[in-house]
Structure 1
């Protein structure tokens, strides 16, 4: 910690730098918690432009860096999902809800690798979750690129760093909602769809606020730019689904010698073999 309130890692300490508020003093004194956590979370919804402006200027006196928030939320989702017993990644159970248990066992028996004991769906699920938990990072980066490229086209003069901060403010807000709504997944597929839909709506609403603030206040331009981002949603979904399926197929083939397509369409493959 330096004398002007800057920590060794470059972040500003709001108390030592003279920016403390009653909330800062209370949370630090009682809970030893940085009040910027709560302020960043709240203002990402009600004052997103202010959070993005601070991030672009690398002013972390009042708000945490959106990158740090995103990394924390990304990890926290696994904790919340574990508490409610809802998987963050795809598993055999989520991909084959209508597949009879006997058919699942028959598919597991087709493994081209030899094992000391009969292969179980739990073993496969553990491998899938472990690999996908790592692959989620690059998949998330890849699916974010279309939005970042669109924002760069909207205002080429702004460095990509600035566009990244703006994008992450909206992403973090929707991410927080999605994590808060994880309990809905216990209700089944309908609950999952509701949670994702609410998170997506919040993302595009906050994107609209940020577009109006940073990319021009013309109503026509705002509508066109927001429609441009909406049009990218299928693209990002295709990237995410394709990368996820490729990851699952790689795990099944390399670790167990299983055919992923046989699992998804057993009748088609049975007809072809016959």
Structure 2
């Protein structure tokens, strides 16, 4: 039984205050502290996660899921494609739309129906592709610090990814006011830079003891970037190909080849 004479026994915690704010305004106020400290005090947030401290911050995984979903919401709002569809070939030439229409007509397919199936398949497999693209990072983190569990390395990966999302998403939203592809590319570049900066900061606190060690381990992660793009790109292409073959008895590869041939004419 707790001793009621001890002053600490009746002192409200920060989590209690957050719960009250959540009940009153419907917002978990830890989200603001978590976002700020994720950007400014990245190693501190990771250490709190390792210690199981949820008084100050919301779980890293929870924030990742929020930002991950928000990413696709913003992409859909500003018009950035979230899946490989026939629309990606329309802008490749002046007659791009006619090229796609001609191919679809030859194959006896309806463009809207095809695109809906491709988008549905992409939405169902995006989680799988995200997991696959994360595996190289988890493996190299494990190699850097073998005694830490894979869950601990997962928290490292998700935290640094959260940093890139927090930086990238506001920039990508500016696509509403200009060329969406330009702003999207800018946001991607800035987000990638933010990711590697955050990774280096985490390495300096949890994975390396010297500056040289931080540099070499960060370079090792940078080398994985092309592999990540390759996994995601090939994965999306494979999903599109399988979707067309299974549901429409057609080939996304044929559409890609046809588009290139017509574009070169």
TM-score bracket, normalised by the shorter chain, equals: 0.7 to 0.9
Greater shift after overlay, 119-128 or 42-51? 119-128
Residue equivalent to 2:46: 52
Residue equivalent to 1:144: 134
Greater shift after overlay, 212-221 or 199-208? 212-221
User: 1:210 aligned to 2:202?
Assistant: yes
Local SS of the residue matching 1:134: helix
Residue equivalent to 2:143: 153
Local SS of the residue matching 1:110: helix
- Using the size of structure 1 for normalisation, the TM-score is 0.82
- Greater helix proportion: 2
Aligned partner (choices 258, 261, 264) of residue 253 of structure 2: 261
Residue equivalent to 1:250: 242
Local SS of the residue matching 1:232: helix
- Structure-2 change in CA distance of 1:253 and 1:165 (3 Å): same
Local SS of the residue matching 2:92: coil
Paired with 2:175 and 2:255, the residues of 1 have a C-alpha distance of 24
Paired with 1:179 and 1:23, the residues of 2 have a C-alpha distance of 29
| CA RMSD across the alignment | 2.6
Aligned partner (choices 119, 129, 143) of residue 129 of structure 1: 119
User: 1:180 aligned to 2:174?
Assistant: no
1:94-148 residue CA offsets vs partner (Å, 9 max, x unmatched): 3442142221111112336xxxxxx332222211111101111010000001111
Q: Is the 8 A contact 1:40 1:51 kept in 2?
A: yes
Paired with 1:199 and 1:226, the residues of 2 have a C-alpha distance of 16
- Using the size of structure 2 for normalisation, the TM-score is 0.85
**Count of residues in Structure 1 that have an aligned counterpart in Structure 2:** 250
Which blocks of at least 5 consecutive residues in structure 2 are unaligned? 3-9
Which blocks of at least 5 consecutive residues in structure 1 are unaligned? 4-15, 113-118
Residue equivalent to 1:111: 107
- Structure-2 change in CA distance of 1:174 and 1:110 (3 Å): same
- Structure-2 change in CA distance of 1:47 and 1:127 (3 Å): same
Greater shift after overlay, 204-213 or 102-111? 102-111
